[in-house]
Structure 1
């Protein structure tokens, strides 16, 4: 199989202005892009959670599920295209990948919901702080699930 063209991040990091950061990027590309898009996914999650919970007045647990739908959709697209550079050959493979991705994220949603239930609903900690801490835990768990189960490199 022919090597794919460089993506936008590869082209940016190939510029001479980055100096020694370029080799560091290429050596750690997957983790760095995962952290970038994980951070952006967190922004999507927290922003949609804020709108649902604080502005619309939706129950904290339901607001979290709404934010999950937005965040997971954003994460799937960015993880497939840039982080794990996943290639699928047909619609059936795409559906299988989507199913595994959302199932993995559903498992980590349960972890997040338990954290929110315990620390926000039962112990009355600050809702936004609890959401932020839960997101950090979820980002780590999601990377492990994506790397090991969803976007595994195909055997040649």
Structure 2
């Protein structure tokens, strides 16, 4: 058991690709609740239209995601510091994720309940956002974004 723990700690320090993916997913779970909560407030409680509610929820969640990922998943690459330039790159790259998520939400909401469509759209967003974060936003100079 100690050997496994030592290996996990070493992988965390190296920030291997799969460890980052798991960390990003854990941050993503927290952000999914933030995204969903904000979405439901705007859509169900306030009555804001579907797409606008989704974009507003994304704006809150992407800010939370940048902060959490800067200190955890990509802490080594960011030096554990928040930078306006990195935040703006994160937001701009997140536009691809919100576009994919919104497209998924709108199309699936024609066939599935809105809540189900929203949950699927969050998964689509995860794949797009992790790929861009890993290979573009938090890429260390000279490594092409590929770790371990």
TM-score range (shorter-chain normalised) is 0.7 to 0.9
Structure 2 gaps, min length 5: 12-17, 144-148
Q: Structure 1 residue 48: deviation in Å? A: 0.7
The match for 1:84 is 74
Paired residues for 1:1-156 under 5 Å:
20-21=4-5, 23-24=7-8, 26-27=10-11, 28-85=18-75, 86-87=78-79, 94-120=83-109, 123-155=110-142
Q: Structure 1 residue 23: deviation in Å? A: 2.5
Report the CA distance shift for 1:117/1:154 in structure 2 as closer, same or farther (over 3 A).
same
Bigger relative contact order (CA 8 A; separation at least 6): 2
Q: Could you tell me the TM-score, scaled by structure 1's length?
A: 0.76
| Aligned-pair Cα RMSD in Å | 2.4
SS of 1:20 mapped into structure 2: helix
- Is this contact kept in 2: 1:25–1:32, CA < 8 A? no
Report the CA distance shift for 1:52/1:25 in structure 2 as closer, same or farther (over 3 A).
farther
SS of 1:83 mapped into structure 2: coil
Q: Structure 1 residue 81: deviation in Å? A: 1.1
Aligned length: 135
- Is this contact kept in 1: 2:28–2:126, CA < 8 A? yes
Q: Structure 1 residue 124: deviation in Å? A: 4.6
Distance 1:30 1:101 in 2: 16
Structure 1 gaps, min length 5: 1-15
Deviations 1:39-98 (A, max 9, x none): 111111011111111111111111101100110000000111111011288x9xx22211
Computing the radius of gyration from Cα coordinates, the structure with the larger value is: 1
